[in-house]
C-alpha cells in the first residue's frame, strides 16, 4: 500500500511548514498545551453540534452534581461530523452530540461509534435510537406547519402535508431542503407512500420559497414576508423569547397535520460515543445524566423539545408525543438518506 506513505509524506511536508512558521514569528505557545493534555485526562470531551446556549446549562448542572468536568467543542452539526470523519480514530472526542440523526449515521457508518449500554438504550423508544445501538436520541422535535394567522384562516389549513402540492397552496409554503429534518421528513414520505409519490410531492414543491435553514423561515413568517413554512416545532419559542413576548402573542402560529401524517414526523437530536469511550466511567455518567429525568425536564422546559424517556412531561402547550407518531422510518438508514437526497436534487430543490 503506497497510500499511507504518500499521505504521511504530504502531511509531514505541511508540518515542516508549520514548524518553520511557528519558529519564524515566535508565537510558540506549546508550553500551555502540555498542561492542558494532562488536565484533560479525566474530563469528558464532547463535540457538540448543538448550540452552547442550549447545552451548556445542562452540562454545568452535570458538573455541579458529579464533579466531572466536560470539555465541550461547539460547532454546527455538519462541521462536527466533518471534523470527526477527518480525525478518525485519532479524535480526542469521547462523545458526539448532534442536531439530527443523519449526522450520527454518517459518523457511525464510518465505524467511529461503538454500541452503547443496553440499559441506556432501553430508556428510549426503539424508533428514536439507532438499530445497531451506536447512538441514542436525547430529544424529539416534531415537523409542523408554521403560518401567519393574518394571512391564512384556521379553517383553510391543510389536513395533510400532501395537500400542499394542490394548486391553492402553490408557492405559498416555504421549505429548507438542506435541513436534516426536512430530509428525514422526505424519507418519511417515501416510506409512507412510495418513492414515486414522494418524487411527485417534491416536484409539486418546485415553486416553494426556499430558505437555508428553519430559523429564517420562522423569522420571515413573523415579518410577514412569508405566509407559511415547514419547520420544526420549537423555533417559534426561541424567536418569541428574543422578542420578549409570550409565544401566543408572537404572531405566527403552529399547525399540526392530522395524526399519522408524514408531515408530523418526529426527528431526534442524539448522542453517540466514539471508539471505546462508552466504557469510560465519566462518559457513562454523562450519558446516564442526559437520559435521566432532570436533564430531560430541562430540555422540555428550556428548548420546548420532547423528552424521550418515560415519565417526563412533554413541553407545555404541545400535543403529546404519542399523538404525533408518523410512519416508522429508520432515522439511521443512510442509504435511505442518500436516495432521499438524490430525489431532492432531481426535483431541482437543491
Partner 1 sequence: MPAIVAALVPVAYLAWRTGQAGGSAIAEQLGRPRLIEATGRTLMLAGTVTAACLVIGIATAFLVSRTDLRLRAAVNLSASLPLAVPTYVAAFSWRAAFPGAEGFWISALVLTVSSFPYVHLPVAAALSRSDPALEEQSRSLGEGPWRTFFKVTLRQVAPAAVAGALLCALYVFSDFGAVSILNYRTFTQEIYVAWRLGFDHTGALVLASALVLLTLIVLAGEWAAAAPGRRARRESASSRAPVRLPLGRGRPLVYLGLAVLAVLSLGVPGWSLARWTLDGVSTADPAEVWGATWTSLYLSGAAAILTVALVVPVGLYVARRRGPLAAATERIVYVGYALPGVVIGLSLVFMAINVDWVRERFYQTAPLLVFGYAVLLLPLGMGAVKASAAQASPQLGQVAASLGAGPVRRFATITLPLTAPGIAAGAALVFLTAMKELPATLLLRPSGTETLATRLWTYTDVAAFSAAAPYAALIVVVSAVPIWLLSRRIGRQGP
Site for partner 1 in 76-135 (CB under 8 A): 76, 78-79, 81-83, 85-88, 90-92, 102-103, 105-106
Indicate the residue among 262 and 349 with the shorter CB distance to partner 1: 349
Cell numbers found for residue 171 = 408557492
Among 1, 27, 207, 322, interactor with partner 1 by CB under 8 A: 27
**How near is the Cβ of 314 to partner 1 at its closest, in Å?**
21
Indicate the residue among 30 and 155 with the shorter CB distance to partner 1: 30
Distance CA 84, CA 93 (A): 8
Distance CA 100, CA 97 (A): 9
Distance CA 7, CA 338 (A): 29
Part in contact with partner 1 (CB under 8 A); list of ranges 66-74, 142-150, 290-298, 316-324: 66-74
Distance CA 35, CA 56 (A): 24
Q: How far is CA 263 from CA 3, 144, 186, 232, 327, in A?
A: 46, 7, 9, 10, 10
Part in contact with partner 1 (CB under 8 A); list of ranges 15-23, 258-266, 290-298, 320-328: 15-23
**How near is the Cβ of 46 to partner 1 at its closest, in Å?**
9
Among 11, 150, 197, 293, interactor with partner 1 by CB under 8 A: 11
Residue for grid cell 435511505:
336
- Which DSSP category does 25 fall into? H
Indicate the residue among 10 and 276 with the shorter CB distance to partner 1: 10
Q: Which of residues 146-185 bind partner 1 (CB under 8 A)?
A: 177-180, 183
- Binding to partner 1 by CB under 8 A, coded x per residue (else -) over 212-231, reads x--xx--xx--xxx------
Q: Which of residues 239-268 bind partner 1 (CB under 8 A)?
A: 239, 241-244
Q: Does 350 bind partner 1 (CB under 8 A)?
A: yes
Query: What backbone torsions phi and psi does residue 206 show, to the nearest 5 degrees?
Result: -60, -30
User: 49: closest CA among 26, 65, 69, 72?
Assistant: 72
Amino acid at each position: 500500500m503506497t497510500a499511507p506513505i504518500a499521505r504521511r509524506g504530504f502531511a509531514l511536508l505541511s508540518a515542516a511548514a508549520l514548524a518553520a512558521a511557528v519558529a519564524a514569528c515566535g508565537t510558540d505557545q506549546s508550553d500551555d498545551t502540555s498542561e492542558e493534555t494532562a488536565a484533560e485526562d479525566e474530563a469528558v470531551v464532547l463535540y457538540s453540534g448543538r448550540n452552547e446556549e442550549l447545552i451548556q446549562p445542562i452540562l454545568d448542572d452535570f458538573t455541579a452534581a458529579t464533579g466531572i468536568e466536560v470539555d465541550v467543542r461547539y460547532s454546527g452539526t455538519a462541521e462536527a461530523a466533518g471534523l470527526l470523519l477527518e480525525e478518525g480514530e485519532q479524535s480526542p472526542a469521547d462523545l458526539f452530540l448532534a442536531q439530527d440523526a443523519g449526522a450520527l449515521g454518517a459518523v457511525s457508518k464510518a465505524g467511529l461509534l461503538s454500541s452503547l449500554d443496553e440499559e441506556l438504550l432501553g430508556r428510549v423508544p426503539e424508533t428514536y435510537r439507532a438499530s445497531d445501538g451506536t447512538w441514542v436520541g436525547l430529544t424529539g422535535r416534531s415537523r409542523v406547519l408554521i403560518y401567519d394567522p393574518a394571512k391564512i384562516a384556521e379553517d383553510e389549513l391543510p389536513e395533510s402535508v400532501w395537500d400542499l402540492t394542490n394548486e391553492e397552496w402553490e408557492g405559498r409554503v416555504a421549505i429548507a431542503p438542506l435541513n436534516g429534518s426536512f430530509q428525514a421528513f422526505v424519507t418519511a414520505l417515501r416510506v409512507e407512500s412510495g418513492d414515486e409519490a414522494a418524487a411527485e410531492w417534491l416536484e409539486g414543491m418546485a415553486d416553494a420559497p426556499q430558505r437555508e435553514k428553519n430559523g429564517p423561515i420562522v423569522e420571515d413568517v413573523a415579518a410577514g414576508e412569508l405566509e407559511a413554512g415547514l419547520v420544526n416545532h420549537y423555533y417559534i419559542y426561541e424567536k418569541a423569547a428574543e422578542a420578549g413576548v409570550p409565544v401566543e402573542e408572537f404572531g405566527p402560529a403552529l399547525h399540526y397535520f392530522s395524526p399519522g401524517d408524514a408531515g408530523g414526523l418526529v426527528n431526534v437530536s442524539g448522542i453517540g460515543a466514539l471508539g471505546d469511550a462508552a466504557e469510560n466511567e465519566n462518559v457513562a455518567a454523562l450519558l446516564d445524566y442526559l437520559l435521566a429525568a432532570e436533564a430531560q425536564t430541562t430540555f422540555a422546559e428550556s428548548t420546548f423539545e420532547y423528552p424521550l424517556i418515560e415519565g417526563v412531561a412533554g413541553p407545555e402547550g404541545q400535543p403529546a408525543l404519542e399523538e404525533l407518531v408518523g410512519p416508522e422510518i429508520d432515522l439511521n438508514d443512510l442509504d435511505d438518506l442518500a436516495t432521499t437526497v438524490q430525489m431532492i436534487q432531481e426535483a431541482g430543490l437543491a
